[in-house]
A = this chain, B = another copy of it.
Amino acid sequence: MLALSNIFSQIPSELKEEFFQELISKDGFKIERIISKGHVTQDGEWYDQKSDEWVVVLKGEAILEFENSDKVRLKDGDYINIPAHKKHRVSWTKPDVETIWLAIHY
């Protein structure tokens, strides 16, 4: 029997920091679940990734900021493709509920 898991289950009860969980990883490809609760990328820090990233918010709400100051608000089901080296940061996530992201690095 293949293992079945649920993307909305097993949420840590305390989230002092953003929670990163690798679900699948192979040859530079990675699927991860990210859980935020009011967490943001540290001031002045940017993600500058060598892989493309496709990301979807499955629950909650967040704002992604890009280096040209574009801001994109994501809620349930919203997805966006972030090309490699497109600098970005999480500038806001909903403070009172968990925001659950699925991020595919490819």
Using C-beta atoms within 8 Å of the partner chain, give the interface range for chain A: 20 to 34
Interface of A, secondary structure class, is: strand
**Complex Cα–Cα for A9 and B79 (A):** 11
Neighbouring B residues of A3 by C-beta, 8 Å: 80-81
A13 at the interface (CB under 8 A from B): no
Are B31 and A54 in contact (CB-based, < 8 A)? yes
**Are B7's CB and A79's CB within 8 A?**
yes
Verify A72–B8 contact, CB threshold 8 A: no
Residues of B within 8 Å of A31, CB to CB, are 54, 104
Q: Considering the complex, give the chain B residue whose CB is closest to the CB of A88.
A: B2
Cβ of A26 under 8 Å from chain B: yes
> Which residues of B are found within 8 Å of A45, using beta-carbon distances?
none
Nearest B residue to A68 via CB reads: B1
- How distant is the Cα of A104 from the Cα of B58 in the complex, in angstroms? 16
Q: Which of B1, B24, B58 contacts A54 (CB 8 A)?
A: B24
Q: Is the CB of A77 within 8 A of B6?
A: yes
Residue pair B8, A106 in contact (C-beta under 8 Å): no
